A and B are shown apart, each in its own frame.
Chain A
Amino acid sequence: MKKKDKPSWGNAGTENELPKEDSKEQLLFDKKLSRRDMLRLTGASSLGLLLGGGGMGGILAARKAAGQAGQAGASPQHTGTDIIPFYGNHQAGITTPAQNFLCFAAFDLTTTKLSDVQKLLEAWTAAAAALTSGTLIGSVNDNPNLPPADTGEADGLTPSKCTLTFGAGPAFFDDRFGLAAKRPASFSDLPAFTGDSLEPQWCGGDLCVQACADDLQVAFHAIRNLARIARGTAVLRWTQEGFQRTGSADPAGGTPRNLLGFKDGTGNPDVTDEAEMRSVVWSGSADGPAWMNGGTYLALRRVRFRIEVWDRSTLSDQEATFGRHRQSGAPIGARDEFAELNLEAADASGKPVIPPDSHSALAHGDGSVKMLRRSYSYSSGMDLKTGQLDAGLVFISFQKDLMKQFVSIQQRLSKNDRLNEYMVHTGSAVFACFPGVREGGYIGETLLG
């Protein structure tokens, strides 16, 4: 009964919001009895509540549905700068400047029918278009006899630059769905790296959804609703939330700092340089199967920092570990954050200024191999065994070739990086992120269609 106790007036907005093309009957209804009239007439009695639940609620829903239809699907009711278009040649959330928050979810498919997977991706597409434009998903949100199609916690919130990025893991190409022949040649689970301490509950997945938004509630709402829609077809395998400093805390939009206090992402390629993105990120016609044209590969590592150990190391140790100055982010010996890493520079005694086994030096290598990093910090409470913080980095990178890019860099790092002393890799997953979705199409259509 609880749902019925609450009349739907709150959603009505003002009369001005009525779309002109509302049906005659609705207009008639509104003319005959304004909300206020109705309240007065019924004196908020049970009859009033009844009308609220049954009659008025229905009309509001009809109005909303009419509005949505009139706007041709994905068009949002919000406008302005906080919408990132969902449709396009590439998926959003890759070259999109990193929003404040991350909710990452890996799913396992419970169905063994490819047709079910396709239906799921179609349903996810429709939901994603609504979720990223700040509209309620589904058309049934006012029927008192049914659970609302949208869980509601983002109702009234702006789209908050929400992006949803979908991908398929190597397991998706096993023998369940007959897709083995379509697996890109170099796409498989990552090899074991020196020092890995992977826990199964943070690894793998048939499908992934990376939800990013400038509001955590908006991002969570997206994952929650996609998981709900998936019920019966796919289940959550693991989820991880992430954050970075918000735009309002850093209006200048400087390079964000990780939880070790250092700027992270300084050496990233320029996402506005399309040629660079084609050479680093986007899979092209020469790179693999046609269905991945315009897609990219995501590598995710859940990296726990040994925060307590780091906190008692000296500043010079910390800087030598990163190869950069903490405050400015500049390479050791330089003043400008974006100064070139000069790995040849030596001090008076002939020792390299930037330690060759520092994180920056090793990650940079000879500078020929790049990837687009898009990481977030995470904090997952504390380790009950030790009482220490369970916090660190959700490392995420995008690249057109996992082996040539992420793996070759990570192999270098895992063997020698000074930073290894202060962190442990607990989770690992890779996903082939589909090309973008055209309006009327669905996520993964190039693979399944």
Chain B
Amino acid sequence: MKIGYAVPAGLLAASLLFAGCASNDNNNNGNNGNNSNTSGNNAAAQTGNGATSSPSATADSTAATTADFTTAIDEYRKYVIEQCDEFVKQTEGFTDAVKAGKLEDAKALYAPARMYYERIEPIAEALGDLDPNIDARENDVDAADWRGFHKIEQALWQNNTTDGMTDVADRLLKDAQLLRAKVETAEIDANLLVTGAVELLNEVSSSKVTGEEERYSHTDLYDFVANVEGAQKIYELLKPELAKKDPALEQTIGERFTALLNELAPFKSGDGYVSYETLKEDEVRKLSQNLDALAEPLSNMGTILGV
């Protein structure tokens, strides 16, 4: 919850131009010569090649001025809208069950509905108060302001009831609909894509891995997977540009997504995932380490933005 994304588009464009003129090529990320590093920690690669990287003015200015993210941005907006449409639909099903007092139905619908939100969380975070209204956990906000999914989660799993949740359910659905309306106009630029992908994984790292996100329902793995899928979507969209700029990095990120998803696979159960409580300590640690292994090179995707 933070980060204004509204300004940078214009600034960024100017910045790219300026960098092109100044032809400060040595800062061209040192990545061009890194093809050998397929195991590919990018920071390591930079270390290895930094001192010897030679200027490549042409390549740099070309990349900086011609990198065109229009397609990626359009595709991502399409994806966000699809996810939002489905999110509203699923949330409606969930809130209907809550209001009808169908406890078990509500429990079953809770985590799957949230996945549509978790995939596009950075967008929601960029849209003012929507994220806290929809997704705040107890103590994230003042008690009086607490609403949204986790308030209902507490009622369903801790208090084992839907009582008193009708208003919360109504507001949640309204917030979901508002999100759907707002994403039409959300400012999406290449910078948001790059930072958003990292942020999705940071979300996993700071709250899902620890089991804090879904402290009553223990459905953290649904969020975990959804965050990773959301980041993967962005990676897929930026992949062509990344392959041009730093093929080794592109390949490494791809491999690490595969590795992480393989780690997650055994925890599938039916259409969903096992309770986070059933994970053993070393299983959690391994997931966390695989996540860090992915997030590290992913955080270097900004290399496609030029300087």
Residues of A within 8 A of B (CB): 1, 4, 23, 25-26, 29, 46-47, 50-51, 53-55, 57-59, 61-62, 65-66, 68-69, 73, 110-111, 113, 115-116, 119-120, 122-124, 126-127, 130, 137-140, 142-147, 149, 225, 228-233, 235
Contacts and interface: CB of A to CB of B under 8 A. Distances in A.
B46 A149 contact: yes
29 contacts: A1-B8, A53-B15, A58-B26, A61-B24, A61-B27, A65-B30, A65-B51, A69-B52, A113-B39, A119-B36, A119-B37, A119-B39, A122-B48, A123-B37, A123-B41, A126-B44, A137-B43, A138-B50, A139-B27, A139-B46, A140-B27, A143-B302, A145-B191, A149-B43, A149-B47, A231-B292, A232-B40, A232-B256, A232-B294
A425 B136 CA distance: 46
Interface residues of B, number: 52
B39 A146 contact: no
Given A50-B11, A119-B37, A142 B300 contact: no
Contacts of B300: 146-147
A119 B48 CA distance: 10
B277 to A, nearest CB: 22
A181 B256 CA distance: 31
A66 to B, nearest CB: 7
A117 to B, nearest CB: 9
Nearest to A58: B24
B29 interface: yes
A231 B41 contact: yes
Nearest to A116: B39
A186 B302 CA distance: 49
A25 B22 contact: yes
A139 B39 contact: no
B179 interface: no
A230 B41 contact: yes
Given A54-B15, A115-B39, A139-B46, A232 B24 contact: no
B227 to A, nearest CB: 18
Nearest to A2: B3
A225 B46 CA distance: 13
Nearest to A61: B27
Given A231-B292, A232-B252, A58 B46 contact: no
A138 B30 contact: yes
Chain A CB within 10 A, most for which of B16, B294, B302, B307 = B307
Interface string B30-68: 100000110111011111111111010000000000000
Interface of B: 3-4, 7-8, 11, 14-16, 18-19, 22-27, 29-30, 36-37, 39-41, 43-53, 55, 191, 194, 252, 256, 289, 292-294, 296-297, 299-300, 302-303, 305-307
Contact of B289 (A61, A228, A235): A235
A45 to B, nearest CB: 11
Contacts of A229: 41, 43-44, 47
A62 B19 CA distance: 12
* Main SS at interface, chain A: helix
A65 B26 contact: yes
A26 B44 CA distance: 27
A142 B26 CA distance: 11
Given A55-B24, A110-B289, A149-B47, 17 more contacts: A1-B8, A4-B11, A46-B11, A50-B18, A54-B15, A59-B22, A59-B27, A65-B51, A111-B39, A116-B39, A123-B44, A138-B30, A138-B47, A139-B47, A145-B194, A145-B306, A149-B46
A116 B48 CA distance: 14
B297 A139 contact: no
Across the A-B interface, the 8 shortest Cβ-Cβ residue pairs:
A139-B50, A58-B24, A123-B44, A145-B302, A62-B26, A54-B15, A232-B293, A61-B27
B43 to A, nearest CB: 5
Contacts of B256: 232
Given A69-B52, A115-B39, A140-B29, A55 B47 contact: no
A100 B44 CA distance: 28
B44 A120 contact: yes
Contact of B47 (A4, A29, A46, A127): A127
Given A29-B22, A55-B22, A228 B48 contact: no
A235 B270 CA distance: 32
Contacts of A65: 26-27, 30, 50-51, 53
Nearest to A227: B292
B15 A140 contact: no
B48 A126 contact: yes
Contacts of B36: 119
Contacts of A145: 191, 194, 302-303, 305-307
B168 to A, nearest CB: 33
Given A69-B51, A139-B26, A228 B39 contact: no
Contact of B15 (A50, A130, A230): A50
B284 to A, nearest CB: 13
A149 B37 CA distance: 15
Contacts of B27: 57-59, 61-62, 65, 139-140, 142-143
A73 B48 CA distance: 10
B43 A110 contact: no
Nearest to B50: A139
